[in-house]
Amino acid sequence: MHPVKPDPLRLNQAPRCNARTRRGTSCQSPTVRGKLRCRMHGGAEGSGSPPGNRKAFKHGRYSAEAIAQRREVAALLRACLDQLGAMGDV
């Protein structure tokens, strides 16, 4: 999974997390690749999850859009059945 082989000498120079710990010192753990904070911390610009709870989206079956679409199809079907029922009365 790692595109770069871990090299202890190089890992020592990895960028460090600057989050303030409960002791008031800075965290100093290596940052997540491409981010400003370590795996335990967030809050810095560009760290943490993507905005808008986007990771919670699975298939969209219950998205407002999908629900509205099903509602429309059901209404159309109901209208068709009503029409057929009315035609049967003649």
Binder of Zn ion out of 8, 9, 10, 27 (CB under 5 A): 27
Binder of Zn ion out of 15, 16, 29, 32 (CB under 5 A): 29
Q: Beta partners for 26?
A: 20
Considering only CA atoms, which of 25, 39, 45, 32 is closest in space to residue 2? 32
Token pair 């460090």 in the structure block, residue: 16
The distance of closest approach from Cβ of residue 38 to Zn ion in the complex, given in angstroms and rounded to an integer, is: 3
Binder of Zn ion out of 4, 8, 15, 19 (CB under 5 A): 19
The reply to whether 36 sits near Zn ion by the rule CB under 5 A is no
Burial of 15 (0-12, 13-18, 19+ CB in 10 A): middle
The reply to whether 41 sits near Zn ion by the rule CB under 5 A is yes
Amino acid at 66: A
Q: Choose the stretch contacting Zn ion; rule: CB under 5 A; options: 1-9, 14-22, 54-62, 69-77.
A: 14-22
